[in-house]
A and B are shown apart, each in its own frame.
Chain A
Amino acid sequence: MPALLPGNLEGRPAPADLSPLQARLDAAAPGAVVEVEPGTYRGDVYLDRPVRLIGRGRPTLIGSGKGSVVRVRAPDVVVEGFDIDGLAGGDLAADSSGVHVAAPRATVRDCRIANTLFGVYVREAPGVRVEGNVIRGIPGREAGEKGSAIHVWNTVGFTFVGNDIADARDGIYIQSASQGTIRGNVARRLRYGLHYMNSDDNVFEDNLFEQSAAGAVLMFSKRIQFRRNRFIHNRGFASVGLLFKDLDDSVAEDNLIADNARGVFLEGSSRNLFRRNVLAQSDIAIVLYGSSSENRFEGNAFIGNLSPLALFARRTDTRFDGNYWSDNDATDLDGDGRSDRPYTLGSLFDHLRGNLTAADLMAQSPAALALSAAERAFPVLEAIQVADGSPLARPPLLPDVPAQAPRGRRLDPWGLAGALGLIGTGLAVLGAGRRWRWETA
């Protein structure tokens, strides 16, 4: 059994579990560079002095299966260029990881970490940098039985850049960790792409959160910034692109939130600003609880959502202003770029389907259109009035919003051939009918 330091922190592995590299590390002077040649090294690594552990030609570290493979216990350590395999071993309660960091200013770069409970665990390690790693969880294991790909706890100031994450429990779990930068990461096929508690003032830019039960779930925090992220293809039964619970004073700009069961979910969250985002192709674009107040949606493009808003309250002071709504059919006769009348979020039909899932089957049907037309002509039902006072008449140009997939026209030759075939056959049948004479019969 490896020694545990105070606070359940994994200490130096038992001698039998140590990597053959450990002798070189124990001999290294502080500040030394330890270069590792290609090969496979079995056992765990314990870094108790500031060294740079650099893999040349991608050496493989295979852990003991009893705890974290690389344990960083001294400041200013660099771990770079390794393939790390945790043998699916260790202990969730001890935060067993591919690389476990519990010292300031560590850098974990260009590692390929697989088969570990946690990928990189950052514990009270201000100034940590996790960059360009590929992290895969334990295949086939239930979410509850594995950890996050990158987990940070009780740390002020951290940087996660360009990591590629899949198949763990949560992609990035940020817990009581503030003033971080999270940029250019990809997280897919997880429970939550981003999971979040009690962490203020973090900045998220250019990340991709997709194909998870939820793209991002943020709770109990303040002043978070989201720019140019993608929250897409989160399509489970109750999936959400971006969920805020008790999250205040945050800003989301130029994000793409598309093809989610529910796009944005706000509960108990106040004074948040959503500006210039694209919210598209969701069953419900925004779920808004009455416990949320003073949120603003400005200049966003709402495109092809089954329903713009599900409001769980009698009224809301959340404001919608100058957004584009693709199902808004009002005219713009004065040509000022704004529709001539306000756009009402939610119709009689939306009210119906709020109570009855199967009514979705008739969404977009002529019947649903007729209902909303009738509602506008004869406003007998006092629906909950949430409106965009000056909706955009045309979709806004949002050049900073990332594209859903690589752009560009792609030909489908089979489809084109089929289309030509249809035209040819159709014309031939019609033409043959015209040319036939009675004698031929």
Chain B
Amino acid sequence: MTAPRTSLMLLVARQELLLAARSRWTQIFAAVFAVLALGVSASGYILSGGHGFQDFARTSASLVQLVALVVPLASLLMGVMALAPERGTAELLFSQPIARRQILVGKLLGLLAALAAAEAVGFGLAGLVVFQNTGEDGAAGYAILVLGSFLLTAVFLSLAALIAAGAVGRKRARALAVALVVWFVAVLLIDLVALGVASVLPSTAASRLLILSVLLNPASAMRTGALLAIEGTAAFGPGSLALLRFTRGATGAALLVVVSLVTWIVLPTLAAVRRLSRADL
């Protein structure tokens, strides 16, 4: 009996979710993320000096920074570990009567579910602290932060798939090293280079370059979008206005951030599928 394609893919996803949920790494990530998120929100509300300045916006902004650093790293490493199996495992898996494309996308979905679930627990715990102390309507900003975190997970899982697809049949350590480099570039290097180049360009071109680099780099795009959603134009001072002028308003900015993130999910996945289907095992 042949199951329909989608259910085959979901079968793979479910198996991957099961593996991920049982994996010590997922459990460690869930615990670490929960502790960090809880720590950030508690230091924002409970341990702060008592002036009420580490209010919702400040705490959420710190959570954004945490997400922008930790989520890409966890997604890349766990993605590569799950998607770049050792040689024997790969041969066995890919000899099954399922298209490689379905295996890859299914595995990605399963991983995404596991990581998103782990993050959800952390956000939930932090949310318990946050929403006991805020009466303002911050729930929408918080929801955007959670959603942004899930999208960022998908982006870097997709990049992990591309890295892993290039490493089929090779040492897994090499793929992990590549993943670390990708993390460093996305989280730090692109912004640094953009700032460096911008400092020697004339101001209009420099301004454009910075705005483009913020929108094109998925880690920065998520950070910028979430901070703007939570803090409004106060997030970056005059810089926010420069960005909003460039994108012609808040809707344009939101649209560009989403387009950027979705592109970073779709394109690396497609490239990974292509690479994997051509790979000679």
Chain A contacts to B: CB under 8 angstroms: 235, 237, 258-259, 261, 278, 280-281, 283-284, 301, 303-304, 306, 349, 352-353, 355-368, 370-371, 394-398, 401, 403-405, 407, 409-412, 414-416, 418-434, 436, 441
Is the pair A352, B52 in contact by a Cβ cutoff of 8 Å? no
Separation of A354 and B48 alpha carbons in the complex (Å): 30
CB < 8 Å neighbour of B234 from A281, A403, A418: A281
Residues of A within 8 A of B236 (CB): 306, 360-361, 363
B interface secondary structure, majority: helix
Number of residue pairs across A and B with beta carbons under 8 Å? 225
Is the pair A365, B220 in contact by a Cβ cutoff of 8 Å? yes
B214 interfacial by beta-carbon distance below 8 Å: yes
Is the pair A356, B198 in contact by a Cβ cutoff of 8 Å? yes
B113 interfacial by beta-carbon distance below 8 Å: yes
Q: Which residue of A lies closest to B27 (CB)?
A: A430
Is the pair B51, A278 in contact by a Cβ cutoff of 8 Å? yes
Q: How far is the CB of B79 from chain A (nearest CB, A)?
A: 17
Chain B contacts to A: CB under 8 angstroms: 11, 14-15, 17-18, 20-22, 26, 30, 48-54, 58, 61, 65, 68-69, 113-114, 116-121, 123-128, 130-139, 142-143, 146, 187-188, 191-192, 194-195, 198-199, 203, 206-208, 210-211, 214, 220, 223-224, 233-234, 236-243
Residues of B within 8 A of A433 (CB): 14, 17-18, 20-22, 113-114
Q: Given that A237-B238, A358-B206, A366-B188 are known contacts, is A429 also in contact with B114, CB under 8 Å in the complex?
A: yes
Residues of B within 8 A of A431 (CB): 21
Separation of A430 and B116 alpha carbons in the complex (Å): 10
Is the pair A412, B237 in contact by a Cβ cutoff of 8 Å? no
Residues of A within 8 A of B138 (CB): 412, 415
Separation of A249 and B185 alpha carbons in the complex (Å): 51
CB < 8 Å neighbour of A395 from B51, B123, B241: B51
Residues of B within 8 A of A412 (CB): 131-132, 134-139
14 contacts between A and B (CB under 8 A): A352-B199, A356-B207, A358-B198, A365-B220, A365-B223, A366-B191, A395-B50, A418-B143, A425-B117, A430-B21, A433-B21, A434-B18, A434-B21, A434-B22
Is the pair B120, A422 in contact by a Cβ cutoff of 8 Å? yes
Separation of A441 and B139 alpha carbons in the complex (Å): 37
Residues of B within 8 A of A416 (CB): 127-128, 131-132
Is the pair B11, A441 in contact by a Cβ cutoff of 8 Å? yes
